[in-house]
Structure 1
Amino acid sequence: MATGTAPPRGSAAAAASLRRRRTTSGGSASGGAAGTMLQFYTDDAPGLKISPNVVLVMSIGFIAFVAILHVMGKLYFVRKD
């Protein structure tokens, strides 16, 4: 094997080189994106602050409300002969 060439694909050496590989750009590009994403989860983010449990209860309540309306619609529009 010549110096500077990649090891054969599927070999243990190829797997080891993938584990050792580092990006040269560092974290500058990904750090900015991560900082933007973290802003959504901090106290400094603007907007309505509600807990995940409240969101879960509201969404289940909405689903139940739509299901009840569906059943009421089926019962109300039954044709009477």
Structure 2
Amino acid sequence: MRRCRVMGGAATSASPSVGSDSGSNMLWFYTDDAPGLKISPTVVLVMTLCFIAFVAALHVFGKIYRAKAGAGV
């Protein structure tokens, strides 16, 4: 595996800059020009917390259902 050496603060001209218009730039996915659904980080956080709460509720309901079903036997 190759390792990149960090030079003493001098930037080379071969390295891509943040503002470049190259198609292989990773930041292109996070611009307004990127295709697809545009969701803010706040919406993603809320959806994640709702999913966690839903899974926790399923666990609780499963325990209650199992306790009631087992008590009648």
Which range, TM-score by smaller chain? 0.5 to 0.7
Please identify runs of 4+ aligned residues in structure 1 that moved more than 4 A. 21-25
Going by fraction, where is helix more abundant, 1 or 2? 1
Letter of the structure 1 residue corresponding to residue 66 of structure 2: F
Alignment root-mean-square deviation, CA = 2.7
Query: How high is the TM-score relative to the length of structure 2?
Result: 0.66
Higher normalized contact order (CA 8 Å, seq sep 6+, divided by chain length): 2
Pairing partner for 1:45 from 21, 24, 34: 34
Distance 1:45 1:19 in 2: 33
Unaligned runs of 5+ in 1: 1-17
Pairing partner for 1:36 from 17, 25, 34: 25
Identity of aligned residues (%): 56
Partner of 2:3: none
Unaligned runs of 5+ in 2: 1-5
Partner of 1:11: none
Q: Which has the larger radius of gyration?
A: 1
Aligned length: 61
2:25 is paired with a residue whose SS is: helix
Query: How high is the TM-score relative to the length of structure 1?
Result: 0.60
